[in-house]
Amino acid sequence: EIVLTQSPATLSLSPGERATLSCRASQSVSNYLAWYQQRPGQAPRLLIYDASNRATGIPARFSGSGSGTDFTLTISSLEPEDFAVYYCQQRSNWPLTFGGGTKVENK
Amino acid sequence: EVQLLESGGGLVQPGGSLRLSCAASGFTFSSYGMTWVRQAPGKGLEWVSSISASGGDTFYADSVKGRFSISRDNSKNTVYLQMSSLRVEDTALYYCAKRDVALGYGMDVWGQGTAVTVSS
């Protein structure tokens, strides 16, 4: 099973600041990595697929990068609605696995 | 409108069974793989099971293998999760999600979830 480790666990930032979230895989997942956002009380939302492709309707301030074992989700300038928990997920191998999540909180 | 609506959750005793349903609308259901993901209270996301568009291929997390069974009825636009031998640790909000090959098999549509509580 591929283990995804997300860091930091919590990121305390203010609106307008840049957020950089990390996801590290225990073995190469090529570029088969997705990012999801989950706001409190809501279902997750697909942000990024295949490491760097924005899903439909996702604002350009969200970007993804990386390949192999190291991946980054960047939010260029935080909006109030971006304070949420973010998960990475790999589809390289079964079982599908998610990272433990990074909470982006309003400082 | 593209929509997934889960149902069937509830309170069940350890060792009991439950069948979850997920009704899809607004898209060609038979063209997409479907997935169940769960989230224990206050915890992260855990993949549970996936099924291919035709239903011919199924996949399970080790934690549920042999106890849960995923199936689908494309004539009813519904995917199911039959859960048996339930354990306290199966307590979670269960989401169904659509996987889109055009989006790297990303889970691009999610339901609002159905809550399962396993307790005596």
pLDDT in tens, A31-90: 999 999 999 999 999 999 999 999 999 999 999 999 999 999 999 999 999 999 999 999
Please name the member of B47, B50, B97 whose beta carbon is closest to the beta carbon of A97. B47
Confidence of residue B52 (pLDDT cuts 50, 70, 90): very high
Distant-in-sequence, close-in-space partners of B44: CB < 8 Å, separation ≥ 6: A85, A87, A98, A99, A100, A101
Kind of pairing between the strands at A85-90 and B78-83: unpaired
pLDDT of residue A44: 98
The model's confidence at residue B26, banded by pLDDT at 50, 70 and 90, is very high
Distance from the B111 Cα atom to the nearest Cα atom in chain A, whole angstroms:
7
Cβ contacts of B101 on chain A, cutoff 8 Å: none
pLDDT number for residue B56: 96
Q: pLDDT for B80-103, tens place per residue?
A: 999 999 999 999 999 999 999 999
Q: What is the predicted pLDDT for the residue at A14?
A: 97
Please tell me the distance in Å from A102's CA to the nearest CA on chain B.
Answer: 10
